[in-house]
Amino acid sequence: MPKMRAVDAAVLVLEKEGISCAFGVPGAAINPFYSALRARGTVRHILARHVEAASHMAEGFTRAKAGNIGLCIGTSGPAGTDMITGLYSASADSIPILCITGQAPRARLTKEDFQAVDITAIAAPVAKWAVTVMEPYQVPMALQKAFYLMRSGRPGPVLIDLPIDVQLAEIEFDIDAYEPLDVGKPAMTRKQAEKVLALLNAAERPLIVAGGGIINADASDLLIEFAEITGVPVIPTLMGWGAIPDDHRLMAGMCGLQTSHRYGNATMLASDFVLGVGNRWANRHTGSVDKYREGRKFVHIDIEPTQIGRVFAPDLGVVSDAGAALKMLLDVATEWKTAGKLRDWSGWAKECQQRKKTLKRKTHFTEVPLKPQRVYEEMNKAFGRDTTYVSTIGLSQIAGAQFLHVYNPRNWINCGQAGPLGWTLPAALGVRAANPDAEIVALSGDYDFQFLIEELAVGAQHKLPYIHVVVNNAYLGLIRQAQRGFQMDFEVSLAFENVNRGEGAEPGYGVDHVAVAEAMGCKAIRVRRPEDCAAAFKEAKRLIAENQVPVVVEFILERVTNISMGTEIDAIVEFEQLAERNEDAPTAIALLD
């Protein structure tokens, strides 16, 4: 039996489980693991500038491609605590990432050693499993369990903490005898499918709500086939956006309080039956449960048993992987269609299409400073159907979801539930590491961009090019808009006169993002007028081709623009777009193209 250090066995296991890329920051307590990575040379390592950013890079890497698992590495103490936000974000969105931390020697764990913290206790609420490995031979076995847990049932993150003496201990281990464990996923039965379809068949105006579980299961093609064979329109959630193309005749729009379409909300309110697949009835999608449920029946299909009934009790709940459920539903629906047993919903589908054609929000504004709606209109023109968008939180993300178009699964990489500021930039770098040839466009407000702005240097150092659209109003825009309910505008302005403002920087807007990006080794363009947008995007693509570094395209926006949202899906406020601050009162004006 070959003898090796526990960390050498760990790297062999990572290889066998398919790990090809890691994001992290070395440190004293994790250096043995890094020595094993260096000795093998099979796993690419990307050095982050902040360990939280490394965890978000791992998220982006996982989210970008089916089957991927991102790996984040850090030392003891603060490296692990820095990862907690990434673990929370991954756990909330059912994203598997593996976090490996170094730890003080076993004998010193209770001695308050330097940078010794009980990271497993801290991580446990936001991880599928968190463990400090106390026996050297259990290092490869803990990794085997970690990969099994990350892939089985509802996916999620795992943290493995390795005391330095455990890392260095010698064990006997034969990698040729190692095999990944079979993944366990529940599957819908035919009897269950027939019950679902019987409820569907009794409805006059049914909808399919397509959640992120469909993306995780790589089952978007099955969703489209099922929608087409039944003729039932689809409402994707924000996490499921891209599971059906935006221009598909059965794509009925998104529903919700913020990241929604007017036609999507109107169609949901007109429906009488909802089939939820791989979704979790998130509150930004539903609003109040009473209003969302009123007048309609529900079926909920989810891979995790405890998700069913968590928000509200459906008329029927089925525990199943989204892909397995759609396959069984498709098989039964096809038989019923052939036998003439399936209802015809073509008239209802045409109603949904009509709403989609007419209930639109205005985007073609010509004002200077720019209105954000015009920026998204220009993005739709500049980028193709295969573009991958990355975004996290704020008015920039909300407006992006309202106005951009997504046509493929995993082309909307979004932190749905946690929404940490700063997530976008490192996540985009992770997406680039996973997809070397993709066209990647990140979308941030100025505050999200500033949170982990130092990671631009990672993109420059490791040649991870993408376009980062920064819509700059020098505000915490979403919080400013929320503060309207308290009749205040307090501590949400980022504006100041920068004494070091370079030539061309916007007076009064504070941080010179162009100068910062260039100082980090990247390229940057500033845009002030609508007619310059197209040329800026063209130039950004040229700069990426020539330099292979991130390119920041900053748009100087008017300070205040309120984006459509509300407290209920039937009470979305459509704001009249006024440029002057303190003159932004809500109105009931319908902004139609």
> Mind telling me the catalytic residues?
25, 51, 421, 476, 479
Nearest of 482, 570, 556 to residue 525 by alpha carbon: 556
92 Cα distance to chain centroid: 10
Q: What is the C-alpha separation between 98 and 568, in angstroms, rounded? A: 37
Nearest of 161, 158, 1, 199 to residue 69 by alpha carbon: 158
**Three-class SS state of 389:** strand
How does DSSP classify residue 292? H
Concatenating the DSSP letter of every residue in 55-110 gives HHHHHHHHHHSTT--EEEEE-STHHHHHHHHHHHHHHHTT--EEEEEEE--GGGTT
Nearest of 213, 95, 202, 114 to residue 158 by alpha carbon: 95
Are β-strands 158-163 and 97-103 bridged in parallel, bridged antiparallel, or unpaired? Answer: parallel
- For the stretch 98-133, what's the b/e string if a residue is b when 16 or more beta carbons lie within 10 angstroms of its beta carbon? bbbbbbbbbeebeeebebbbebbebbeebbbbbbbb
Q: What is the C-alpha separation between 186 and 305, in angstroms, rounded? A: 10
Region at 168 (left for phi over 0; alpha for psi -120 to 50; beta for the rest)? alpha
Task: Evaluate whether 52 touches 82 at the Cβ level (below 8 Å).
Answer: yes
Sign of the Cα pseudo-torsion (320, 324, 330, 335, in order): negative
Element (H, E) at 440: strand 440-445
Q: Which two tokens stand for residue 70?
A: 């991102």
Bridge-partner residues for 441, per DSSP?
389, 467
Sign of the Cα pseudo-torsion (448, 454, 458, 460, in order): positive
Inter-helix orientation angle 372-382/395-403, to 10°: 50
Concatenating the DSSP letter of every residue in 5-36 gives EHHHHHHHHHHHTT--EEEE---GGGHHHHHH
Task: Evaluate whether 84 touches 44 at the Cβ level (below 8 Å).
Answer: no
Concatenating the DSSP letter of every residue in 517-571 gives HHHTT-EEEEE-SGGGHHHHHHHHHHHHHHH-S-EEEEEEB-S--PPPEESSTT-
Q: What is the C-alpha separation between 528 and 548, in angstroms, rounded? A: 25
